[in-house]
Amino acid sequence: MQTDSSTLAGPQDYFALLKPRVMSLVIFTAFVGMIAAPGTLHPLLGTVALLSIAVGAGASGALNMWWDADIDAIMTRTAKRPIPSGRVPRAEAAAFGGFLSVLSVALLALASNYLAAGLLAFTIFFYVVVYSMWLKRLTPQNIVIGGAAGALPPVVGWAAVSGAAPLEAWVLFAIIFLWTPPHFWALALYKRGDYERAGIPMMPVVKGEASTRRQIFAYALILAAAGAAPFLIGMTSAYYLVMAVALGAVFIWLSWKVLRADQEDHSPAKKLFGFSIFYLFALFATILVERLVILYA
């Protein structure tokens, strides 16, 4: 007699459903939002709030894997995920993601406030329904609009501490929002075959590589300018501006190399993808260090 596939799943498979690598970026950017926000939150409440945001992000990742199990099975990058590899049944992933979504929003409301909880609920809704169910298979602008979900965590973190979502929080949102297209399109350039096989209308599949490279470069220019915005609105010091300009210059330079590369040469795109992760980390780390210095110096 055959046993259900869930009998083979271990806790690590359910953890993998939460997309831990994406979750780590969410935790970091939300933490920066919490530290940058005015006001204070009891350390335990702050930790629970951050945990809730992390679990909420993980829950939306599990729901995304539930919805996209068919295309994940086709793409080499995602074929080993718990559902397409048969370790976790699809329905269980849906129940797991749904349960954690409710739990994370409720816990955030309890630990901080309803605005933060509402923003977290909206983030989950936007990622699962607007991006995964609607835009991803419909338009090459999928990750442009869908990027809003990934950009919201610092706003949620800010709201958790201050109970408000002012301009400063939305500047952090804008940086991640503008960072998302060049980041994912760089990946899509060298994983184009995967997306093509799965029928996902990513920019290189629909508009071609030349157009995608031009758009990556355009976004790099806008992103570099947006990176300086926290200084321009008086949120950070000149040290941050120096860092933002230097990082932005490298981003533009690497995007230029992608633009000028031969059609078959994907190494510049791989370099840009790797650097883009460092770029976001370094920019937010600079804000974090500055705020910590102000708080404790």
Partner 1 sequence: MPDAQETKAPAPKLAALSPDEKKQRDRRNLAIAFSLGVFIVLVFAVTILRLGSAGAQ
Residues that bind partner 1 (CB under 8 A): 1-4, 7-11, 14, 42, 44-45, 48, 51, 103, 107, 110-111
Least Å from the CB of residue 157 to partner 1: 17
Indicate the residue among 54 and 175 with the shorter CB distance to partner 1: 54
Indicate the residue among 48 and 223 with the shorter CB distance to partner 1: 48
Indicate the residue among 48 and 188 with the shorter CB distance to partner 1: 48
Distance CA 278, CA 272 (A): 10
Least Å from the CB of residue 127 to partner 1: 22
Indicate the residue among 75 and 109 with the shorter CB distance to partner 1: 109
Least Å from the CB of residue 45 to partner 1: 6
Say if residues 243 and 271 touch (Cβ distance below 8 Å): no
Indicate the residue among 44 and 295 with the shorter CB distance to partner 1: 44
Least Å from the CB of residue 47 to partner 1: 9
Least Å from the CB of residue 194 to partner 1: 30
Least Å from the CB of residue 115 to partner 1: 16
Indicate the residue among 106 and 293 with the shorter CB distance to partner 1: 106
